[in-house]
């Protein structure tokens, strides 16, 4: 899969931009704050229908503008596709494939897979379990459309169940039979989600470990452990046991919405015991594993985007990374960095085709 052309209108700091890309490597250079990452975010929009960084679409419209437009020309094999995204203030976002508007944005997920690695990914380590669930869900959803629908439905049912618990507290009465209506749906959906997440985790971990060894030189033992309450017992029994607690807390305390993935290095949490360099290597291995996993399941080589690759990585690990993504297993790659000379030196050793783009104040030059 290749993104050949990108057009932007009033997107973040880009008033207007038209840019064409190499089918292999594209290096975007420029000082911090000039718009390198915004360019990658526009590509992410065309894949996931949303920003990688800011979930509020209207906030991605340029200052004093009324709307933004992002357009991209893709090819997947011999097939040519045009993807269009527009957000006008106060209106519903428009998303089109070959001029046909989607009724549901979820229908687009997985068609043009993209993997983004960014310094902001540190949140996967430092923040709570919700961000790790979203990350895993985003991977599975790219190849399993039913899983995505199950997640959406489970979330809606969970909100209804929580609203019911709050209503019980407000009225001062508790009706287990009314709660049972939501429990039946939650159990069916939760068991399906748990099964898919468990299968995903079993397959994902060895791929991740392989990439960590390649990036770091195999210096540390690393693990990603899937944690779920459903692994400890039957979901229906767990809900029944938690009923009194749910009644007091006024929300659902058990279910797959409490799942987590524990990031470990040498049997210790990465969050507490790994250095910044080790954490960065860990996250890059996670993203490269995501790349391979999606490629295997979608039978499409995703676009790989590496934002600010020198951030907290020593030269040796950056060298290993560049050598790795220069291999035949990878396709179109986007890299951002403040130092063009450093990137040129790294790629000189590989002999790989690369296109250089410079960004300054929202203007792109070759």
**Three-state SS sequence of 98-155:** CCEECCCHHHCCCCCCEEEECHHHHHHHHCCHHHHHHHHHHHHHCCCHHHHHHHHHHH
What SS3 class is residue 66?
coil
User: In degrees to the nearest 10, what's the CA dihedral of 129, 289, 293, 228?
Assistant: -30
Question: Which CATH number covers residue 246?
Answer: 1.20.1050.90
Q: Where are the alpha helices (DSSP H) in the chain?
A: 36-48, 123-126, 129-141, 145-171, 176-216, 235-241, 243-249, 270-273, 276-298, 315-325, 340-348
Q: Are residues 168 and 102 in the same domain?
A: no
- Tell me which residue of 351, 343, 310, 360 sits closest to 26, measured CA to CA: 343
CA angle 339-135-261, nearest 5°?
110
118 found inside a domain: no
Last residue of one domain, picked from the residues 270, 299, 328: 299
Q: Are residues 282 and 309 in the same domain?
A: no
Q: Are residues 141 and 268 in the same domain?
A: yes
Count of the separate structural domains present in the chain: 2
Contacts of 42 (CB under 8 A, 6+ apart): 6, 8, 11, 12, 14, 70
Encoding tokens for residue 54? 């800011």
**Cβ 135 vs Cβ 289: under 8 Å:** no
Predicted local confidence at residue 314, as pLDDT? 77
Q: Are residues 187 and 326 in the same domain?
A: no
**What whole-number distance in Å separates Cα of residue 200 and Cα of residue 136?**
8
The whole domain housing 214 covers: 124-299
Which single residue is written with the structure tokens 């909100």? 159
CA angle 269-272-278, nearest 5°?
80
For residue 84, give the DSSP letter: E
**Cβ 254 vs Cβ 157: under 8 Å:** no
Q: Are residues 150 and 94 in the same domain?
A: no
Alpha-carbon distances of 65 from 10, 61, 87, 124, 363, rounded to whole Å: 7, 6, 11, 33, 17
200 found inside a domain: yes
**Cβ 70 vs Cβ 42: under 8 Å:** yes
Q: Is 60 exposed, middle or buried, given 0-12, 13-18 or 19+ CB atoms closer than 10 A?
A: buried
Predicted local confidence at residue 153, as pLDDT? 97
**What whole-number distance in Å separates Cα of residue 225 and Cα of residue 231?**
12
Q: Are residues 142 and 270 in the same domain?
A: yes
Verdict on whether the full-model pTM lies above 0.85: yes
Strands 303-306 and 114-117: parallel
Q: Are residues 129 and 275 in the same domain?
A: yes
**Cβ 13 vs Cβ 313: under 8 Å:** no
pLDDT averaged per 10 residues, the chain (length 366): 98 97 95 95 97 95 96 96 97 97 94 95 96 96 94 98 92 86 97 98 97 85 96 94 94 97 95 91 95 96 92 78 90 93 81 89 91
- Tell me which residue of 186, 75, 195, 77 sits closest to 140, measured CA to CA: 195
Encoding tokens for residue 129? 């379990």
Encoding tokens for residue 47? 């894949």
358 found inside a domain: yes
- Tell me which residue of 201, 98, 105, 113 sits closest to 148, measured CA to CA: 105
**What whole-number distance in Å separates Cα of residue 115 and Cα of residue 284?**
11
What SS3 class is residue 321?
helix
Predicted local confidence at residue 144, as pLDDT? 93
259 found inside a domain: yes
Question: Which CATH number covers residue 106?
Answer: 3.40.50.300
Please report, in angstroms and rounded to a whole number, the separation of the first and last CA atoms in the chain.
23
209 found inside a domain: yes
| Beta-bridge partner residues of 26 | 334, 355
Predicted local confidence at residue 251, as pLDDT? 95
Q: Are residues 84 and 179 in the same domain?
A: no
Q: Are residues 342 and 295 in the same domain?
A: no
Q: Are residues 164 and 262 in the same domain?
A: yes
Q: Are residues 93 and 5 in the same domain?
A: yes
Instruction: Specify the DSSP element, H or E, that contains 351.
Output: none
Q: Are residues 129 and 144 in the same domain?
A: yes
- Tell me which residue of 181, 196, 219, 197 sits closest to 320, measured CA to CA: 219
119 found inside a domain: no
């Amino acid at each position: 899969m290749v993104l050949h052309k990108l057009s932007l209108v009033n997107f973040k700091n880009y008033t207007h931009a038209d840019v064409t890309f190499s089918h292999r490597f594209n290096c975007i250079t420029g000082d911090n704050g000039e718009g390198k990452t915004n360019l990658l975010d526009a590509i992410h929009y065309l894949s996931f229908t949303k920003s990688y960084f800011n979930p509020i679409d209207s906030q991605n419209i340029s200052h004093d503008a009324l709307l933004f437009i992002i357009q991209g020309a893709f090819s997947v094999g011999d097939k040519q596709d045009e993807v269009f995204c527009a957000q006008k203030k106060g209106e519903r976002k428009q998303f089109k494939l070959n001029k046909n508007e989607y009724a549901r944005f979820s229908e687009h997920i997985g068609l043009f897979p993209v993997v983004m690695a960014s310094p902001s990914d540190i949140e996967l380590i430092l923040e709570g379990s919700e961000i790790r669930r979203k990350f895993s869900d985003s991977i599975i959803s790219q190849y399993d459309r039913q899983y995505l629908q199950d997640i959406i439905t489970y979330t809606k049912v969970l909100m209804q169940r929580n609203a019911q618990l709050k209503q019980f507290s407000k009225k001062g009465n508790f009706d287990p039979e009314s709660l049972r209506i939501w429990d039946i749906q939650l159990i069916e959906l939760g068991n399906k989600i748990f099964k898919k997440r468990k299968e995903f985790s079993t397959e994902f971990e060895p791929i991740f470990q392989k990439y960590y060894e390649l990036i770091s030189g195999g210096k540390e033992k690393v693990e990603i452990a899937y944690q779920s309450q459903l692994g400890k017992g039957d979901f229906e029994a767990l809900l029944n046991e938690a009923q009194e607690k749910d009644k007091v807390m006024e929300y659902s305390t058990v279910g797959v919405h409490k799942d987590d993935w524990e990031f470990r290095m040498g049997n210790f949490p990465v969050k507490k015991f790994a250095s910044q360099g080790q954490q960065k290597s860990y996250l890059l291995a996670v993203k490269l594993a995501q790349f391979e996993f999606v490629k295997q399941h979608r039978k499409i080589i995703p676009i790989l985007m590496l934002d600010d690759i020198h951030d907290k990585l020593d030269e040796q690990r950056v060298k290993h990374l560049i050598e790795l993504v220069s291999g035949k297993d990878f396709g179109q790659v986007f890299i951002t960095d403040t130092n063009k000379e450093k990137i040129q030196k790294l790629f000189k050793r590989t002999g790989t085709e690369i296109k250089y783009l410079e960004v300054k104040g929202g203007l792109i030059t070759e």
